[in-house]
Structure 1
Amino acid sequence: MFGIGGGELVFILFIVLMLFGSDKIPELARALGKGMAQLKNATNEIKSEIHKGMDENGITQSMTDITGNINAEIDKAKQNLIGNAPEQLHKIQDDIVGDLPQQVSKTNQDIEEMTGPIKRQGR
Structure 2
Amino acid sequence: MFGISFSELLLVGLIALLVLGPERLPGAARTAGLWVGRLKRSLNSIKLEVEREIDADHIRRPPAAATPAPPLESSEPPKPPRAP
TM-score of the two chains, using structure 1 as the length reference = 0.42
The aligned residue for residue 24 of structure 2 is 24
Q: How does 1:95-114 map to 2 (within 5 A)?
A: none
State the shift of 1:45 in Å. 0.7
State the shift of 1:18 in Å. 1.2
The aligned residue for residue 56 of structure 1 is 56
Supply the distance in 2 between the matched residues of 1:36 and 1:5 (Cα, whole angstroms). 19
Q: How does 1:62-101 map to 2 (within 5 A)?
A: none
The aligned residue for residue 10 of structure 2 is 10
Secondary structure of the structure 2 residue equivalent to 1:24: helix
User: How many residues were matched structurally?
Assistant: 64
State the shift of 1:16 in Å. 1.1
| Higher share in helix | 1
State the shift of 1:23 in Å. 0.8
**Judging changes above 3 Å, is the alpha-carbon distance between structure 1 residues 7 and 55 closer, same or farther for their aligned structure 2 residues?**
closer
**Judging changes above 3 Å, is the alpha-carbon distance between structure 1 residues 55 and 24 closer, same or farther for their aligned structure 2 residues?**
same
Structure 1 unpaired stretches of 5+ = 67-123
State the shift of 1:56 in Å. 1.3
**Judging changes above 3 Å, is the alpha-carbon distance between structure 1 residues 48 and 3 closer, same or farther for their aligned structure 2 residues?**
closer
Secondary structure of the structure 1 residue equivalent to 2:22: coil
Deviations 1:78-113 (A, max 9, x none): xxxxxxxxxxxxxxxxxxxxxxxxxxxxxxxxxxxx
Structure of higher CA gyration radius: 1
The percent identity for this pair of structures is 33
State the shift of 1:7 in Å. 3.8
* Relative contact order higher in (CA < 8 Å, ≥ 6 apart): 2
Supply the distance in 1 between the matched residues of 2:45 and 2:7 (Cα, whole angstroms). 37
**Judging changes above 3 Å, is the alpha-carbon distance between structure 1 residues 56 and 16 closer, same or farther for their aligned structure 2 residues?**
same
1:33 correspondence with 2:19: no
Q: Could you say what the CA RMSD is over the residues aligned between the two structures, in angstroms?
A: 2.5
